[in-house]
Amino acid sequence: MPEVRTWQLTAGAAVVGLALAAGAVAAAGPWDSGQRKAERDWAAAQSPVGGAHHERPGPKDPAPAPSAPGVLAALGAPSNATAKSSNTAPADLAKVLAPLLGDSGLGTVRTACVVDLATGKRLYGKGASDPMTPASTIKIATSVAALSALGPDHRIPTTVVASKDARQLTLVGGGDASLDTAGLRTLADRTARALRDRGVASVRLTYDTSLYKGAVRHPIGPNRNIAPVSALMVGEGRYDERSTGPSDRSGDPAGDAARAFERLLKDRGIASSAASAPGRPAAGSALLAKVLSVPLSALVERTLTNSDNDIAEALARQTAIATGEEPGFEGGGRAVTKQLAKLKLPLTGARIADGSGLNRNDRLTADLLTALLARAADPDHPELRPVLTGLPIAGFSGTLQSRYTETSPGTGLVRAKTGTLTGVNTLAGTVVAPDGRLLAFAFLAANTPSQEAAQPALDRLAAALAS
């Protein structure tokens, strides 16, 4: 693995631990150096969108992280932390992790990799190059590829184009899976204002989803964890936009979005001469109004924190568009793989069949997952930093909010992407070690008896690195 230089990130992670100890998360969410202000309201509302089997209890007020004093001590002695790093023998780490990996809750196949991000040195490996079904930890790969191809400031548009006489409108989906009713309302405001300026009070509305290609349904079929993948949707196709986690979904999110837009125009004095229908813009049409998503950095953070399948699939397709691949499941997989290859990551045995990890044909190695995290920590790739800031914080946020207790040594110091399918449980992320070092880890398990048995076993592995 290439050497990475991450003393800055180690300090940043330590500061996060201190912020947690101060209770900042309870008030405004685990924001890193102001990078996540765009989603402050979202996190305060605790509105997770889970991946497969990522349901969890409602919000709680977290207690201060008990491990924060250790972080404070490490911050006061960076030179000592460096010395300790060189004295830690992989054999010692193996003595700690091997028994925990033997937990029966981890099923019959377990792989693992632990890397010191300051040096790039592997400290522990067990089957680290064996391809495994990653479940939702594949979202780390999807996110790295999207940020690499598009940059953290990229925003996804949803537009309205109008014919020359402005009497034929087309609502054009740009692939923003995060578009909500408030955003659609803003688009309707701008559209109605532009039409009134032209003296138009009645229009015919069509909607265009042609940006995406191929199958609309994920190979798993109708599922409460993901809507049909469309370039146009509102509220991720949920029947109740206020719902969280797995939720009943529309079979026609694009049509629902267009009908909602039509109603919003009517409320603003713009009548429809006919019901909205699928269609392409009329010849000579020009942009009339648009809204933009939050920056890609915020979309990545939301994807990782809450294991958002809909946005993950959108990220894969946006990567495909940026790299000249067909924006569908297969093209998205090729595009993600292409971007990871450009970053010179270890792709032997990897297969990316979707962006979300719901497809059991996905394959990643523990080595690749830790390499992805190392690349995101590399000072030469600041565009990838949202991959680290978006990881759920143990005991505080996202899919790790309820998985660590107040007394766990990993609380506040483990940041990790969860992965859960029936019989598959994974965990990959970073942890602040007692000496202040930042470690990357990946633990993957197959043929697990239940998530109730596997998840605590994985959490104990990550917590052991913090203690």
- Written as six digits, the tokens of 43 are 């996190």
Active-site entry in 85, 148, 285, 307: 307
Long-range contacts (CB closer than 8 Å, 24 or more residues apart) made by 210-216: 210/280, 211/172, 211/173, 211/174, 211/175, 211/321, 211/327, 212/173, 212/175, 212/317, 212/327, 212/328, 213/326, 213/327, 213/328, 213/331, 214/326, 214/328, 214/329, 214/330, 214/331, 215/328, 215/329
Give the span between the Cα atoms of 146 and 336, in whole angstroms: 7
Give the span between the Cα atoms of 325 and 318, in whole angstroms: 10
- Written as six digits, the tokens of 18 are 């201190």
Side-chain half-sphere exposure of 255, counting CA atoms within 13 A = 8
- Written as six digits, the tokens of 175 are 């692939």
pTM, two decimals, is: 0.84
Confidence (pLDDT) at 163: 97
Helix-strand-coil percent breakdown of the chain, rounded to 5?
Answer: 40, 15, 45
Residue by residue, DSSP assigns 352-368 as: ---SSS--TT-BB-HHH
For the chain, count helices (H), then strands (E).
Answer: 15, 11
Q: For 342-372, how does the pLDDT look when each residue is reduced to its tens digit (9 = 90+)? A: 999 999 999 999 999 999 999 999 999 999 9
Domain edges within the chain:
7-152+297-466, 157-293
Active-site entry in 67, 85, 136, 247: 136
Residue 102 identity (one-letter amino acid) = G
Task: Give the list of residues 6+ apart from residue 7 with CB closer than 8 angstroms, or none.
Answer: 78, 118
Give the span between the Cα atoms of 175 and 224, in whole angstroms: 20
CB of 383 closer than 8 Å to CB of 10:
no
139 annotated active-site: yes
Runs of H (alpha helix) within 60-213:
68-75, 78-87, 90-101, 138-150, 181-197
467 annotated active-site: no
Confidence (pLDDT) at 242: 86
Burial of 241 (0-12, 13-18, 19+ CB in 10 A): middle
Q: For 254-308, how does the pLDDT look when each residue is reduced to its tens digit (9 = 90+)? A: 999 999 999 999 999 999 988 899 999 999 999 999 999 999 999 999 999 999 9
Q: Among 33, 40, 123, which Cα is nearest to 382's?
A: 33
Neighbour count for residue 38 (Cβ, 10 Å): 16
The CA–CA distances, whole Å, from 170 to 10, 156, 250, 278 equal 49, 17, 21, 9
Segments in the chain below pLDDT 50: 1-50, 55-87
Confidence (pLDDT) at 52: 52
Confidence (pLDDT) at 23: 33
178 annotated active-site: no
Q: Tell whether domain 7-152+297-466 is in CATH 3.20.20.140.
A: no
Give the span between the Cα atoms of 188 and 159, in whole angstroms: 10
Give the span between the Cα atoms of 134 and 420, in whole angstroms: 8
The CA dihedral of 198, 257, 234, 337, to the nearest 10 degrees, is -100
Active-site entry in 139, 148, 285, 356: 139
CB of 43 closer than 8 Å to CB of 306:
no
Annotation: CATH topology of 157-293: D-tyrosyl-trna(Tyr) Deacylase; Chain: A; (3.50.80)
Confidence (pLDDT) at 467: 85
Q: Among 138, 142, 181, 172, which Cα is nearest to 318's?
A: 142
